[in-house]
Chain A
């Protein structure tokens, strides 16, 4: 199945954790990312999640793919915060020269704005990285049964897992279709951004159709194997919370509680320029 190409189900210590512990990691990372406004802390958090991804043997190709996809969005984020976010401080780094049409003199980049933008980038990166960390290290049945066990209704769990399954399918389809187009003389490498966007807009329809067909095939296979997502099933391997799992849950809860307490009492985790 496709996500084997990106993931590493059961290959690492992290992968072998109970799905509920993995969800705890996801919850803790998400909570901390939103609780903290500190660029330093958020940067460290992103690095830790990235480190976990590498330890969990998520394929580097998948990570770099995701980063490339997010890059334009991040440039935009940095600029908008640098220019318009003046709530956090007003140390001007650069002003548009007077001669520039329309924006001359009025547009300024502030240090604080840029750093805040950077913090937002770290925050979103944490979220973007923690999802594959949980999803790509769990098998399909672990995922659905895991969700059902924490009382998510089966239908919701199934839709959730179907959506997640879609991502690697889509990436694979994109590759197949662009390969087919290059074989029909399309020279993507010689195109400008506008031309490329036109090409991408053309593949949207076949892309979705292809991914949906594959997704439906998989659903048919699961139905034929009598998989209903019901928690009323037996397991070949015991899915109990081991010592490592309990440790992860305790640490996760402790991390969220500590961060909350520190933020409320001492203000640690609030926005602050790093270092100086």
Chain B
């Protein structure tokens, strides 16, 4: 059933007694300067699947935490209005009582797993709720079955893949048999197939067991497909609350609030602009193919961009790994037979499932790890002969979590740290700090404490600090994770400017769909092995290769593949715009 159909079928009668009632909710954290939620009014019906979208800092996480009383009972702060869940007021009832009706799944699979086996993890909540021991095995089995983790009872959670860990977190939440399951960006750290697994699991639980689901996410494609209604939050206010069709096809609304529409929606909006108006703007792949069939006799498919080959490398490689092996202390074989050359001036993306060895490889380039077999060279020199601090002058590294790379008290001192370490002093130091700050648009923030800045700004501080050393290579590890669309674009734009200056860029990411217009070459890794090394366009259309390492072709590529098969025309496109450019209004013969 599509979201629209489910909505119309009256699964939730808006007049019925809602399971969640939020009235005039405003909230300010104890030390935050402004209100994080402002006058939010929202009712959620029993059995509904509500998506929450909005840019970073919109208040999505706070709203999730308000649903089981953690805000304000745990954090304190100023709280106005009422939140009632399953008839219980979230201030008058303790978190413990509320948690029996509402369970939470958080963003980071690592920090929320606390037990030493899959079975104990699920049991933990049951033990707290004093479920009888005799009843536990049955409940644990049921919860694990629901998320397809049956038979893993005795595994250690750290041995699971990212998608499995998150599904375990859901199982633990589920075993309590809550009325409401709240998930705060549950898939942002997962590879694309892990993400699909988690979404499919949640939808099934919602449909089969009637569990009410509240899910905050940046994943527009998935929310469009699965949610009954979508709430758009920005700056703490509920901007809009409607069906996914109306929210995601509202191009101007989304642009105003920095929310990315699903790729197929973007495509049909572009097509409409060319005079090919669909009956209604689709928001899911299924609707998109149906709309294509309806319009098919009006459409002519014409020539498309051809796959471009990468220019042959002329010089010896700047970075090279030759038959590198690395196994971690716990026995994880992170790299096996990895051989890879990267040349000056290339823009390379490294993709692959969680645990494919991407970050481990980057750490070898930086000499933070040493190969147990094989060799790594930087500009012809064995990395083992170079100190980390020396390599840092050639390679700038931006870690996945910018907060782990911030250790100074002002933005300016953060940026000048590297230069001072390298002995730069006086006017030269001043000039280079100023230059770096300006490049990243941080000049006005130079005296602020880095940790007091918004997340996107903090990431830019770390990049400015790396740029100050004037490196030849920049390595970004998952730079767009947890960033909203605009934030992600801003960071990638910096990487492009750096690349246009003739420098080398390496980006590790799950977000392949963001890379057109930036990257040229894709290295596909899986289970410690390089599975493929190919131009971006080719990589987008290598579905088998991508699937073998838990990646998936972007939604628009899948639509192009459908049309391509239908019309027997090759359509090696990268973006919704490119696909729209391949389609024309068919001229009727005179």
Contacts and interface: CB of A to CB of B under 8 A. Distances in A.
Q: Do A and B belong to a common assembly? A: yes
Interface string A224-261: 11111000111111100000000000000000000000
Interface string A158-199: 000000000000000000110111111111110000000000
Interface string B248-260: 0000000000000
Interface in B74-127: 74, 95-96, 99-100, 103-104, 106, 108, 110-116, 119-120, 123-127
B132 interface: yes
B70 interface: yes
A220 B66 CA distance: 12
A183 B403 contact: no
Contacts of A233: 127-130
Nearest to B135: A234
Interface string B415-445: 0011101100000000000000000000000
B407 interface: yes
B120 to A, nearest CB: 7
A213 B136 CA distance: 33
A202 B407 contact: yes
B469 A184 contact: yes
Interface string A99-131: 000000000000000000000000000000000
A224 B70 contact: yes
B130 A183 contact: no
Interface residues of B, number: 63
B390 to A, nearest CB: 8
B388 A182 contact: yes
B124 A1 contact: no
A209 B449 CA distance: 13
A237 B368 CA distance: 42
B392 A182 contact: yes
B490 to A, nearest CB: 22
A222 interface: yes
B294 interface: no
B564 to A, nearest CB: 45
Contacts of B103: 224-225
B389 interface: yes
Contact of A139 (B115, B387, B389, B390): B115
A97 interface: no
Interface in B347-367: 366
A187 B115 CA distance: 39
B385 interface: no
B131 interface: yes
A210 interface: yes
Contacts of B397: 183
A223 B133 CA distance: 22
Contacts of A4: 158
A203 B407 contact: yes
Contact of A185 (B108, B405, B407, B421): B421
Interface string A36-72: 0000000000000000000000000000000000000
A270 interface: no
Contact of B127 (A181, A220, A236): A236
B437 to A, nearest CB: 16
B419 to A, nearest CB: 8
B314 interface: no
A141 B124 contact: yes
Given A141-B124, A234-B130, A235-B133, A224 B404 contact: no
B399 interface: yes
A180 B70 contact: no
B409 interface: yes
A171 to B, nearest CB: 14
A255 to B, nearest CB: 30
A61 B115 CA distance: 22
A152 interface: no
Given A224-B103, A225-B128, A225-B172, A218 B111 contact: yes
Given A221-B114, A234-B131, A184 B404 contact: no
A268 interface: no
Contacts of A209: 451
B523 interface: no
A140 interface: yes
B288 interface: no
Contacts of A150: none
A206 interface: yes
Given A217-B111, A235-B127, A185 B392 contact: yes
B152 to A, nearest CB: 16
Q: Which of A9, A141, A226, A227 has the most CB of B within 10 A?
A: A226
Contact of A177 (B104, B125, B407): B407
B111 A236 contact: no
Contacts of A185: 389, 392-393, 418-419, 421-422, 469
Contact of B130 (A180, A182, A184, A232): A232
Contact of A183 (B116, B131, B172, B392): B392
Contacts of A186: 389, 417-418, 421
Nearest to B169: A221
Given A186-B421, A226-B96, A234 B389 contact: no
24 contacts: A1-B110, A139-B115, A141-B127, A180-B404, A182-B368, A182-B388, A183-B397, A184-B421, A184-B466, A185-B418, A186-B418, A187-B389, A206-B408, A206-B451, A220-B106, A224-B103, A225-B125, A225-B128, A226-B176, A228-B96, A234-B130, A236-B127, A236-B136, A236-B140
Given A184-B469, A206-B406, A210-B404, 13 more contacts: A177-B404, A180-B405, A181-B407, A181-B417, A181-B421, A182-B392, A185-B418, A189-B387, A203-B407, A224-B70, A233-B130, A234-B130, A238-B133
Interface of A: 1, 4, 9-10, 139-141, 176-177, 179-189, 202-203, 205-206, 209-210, 213-214, 217-228, 232-238
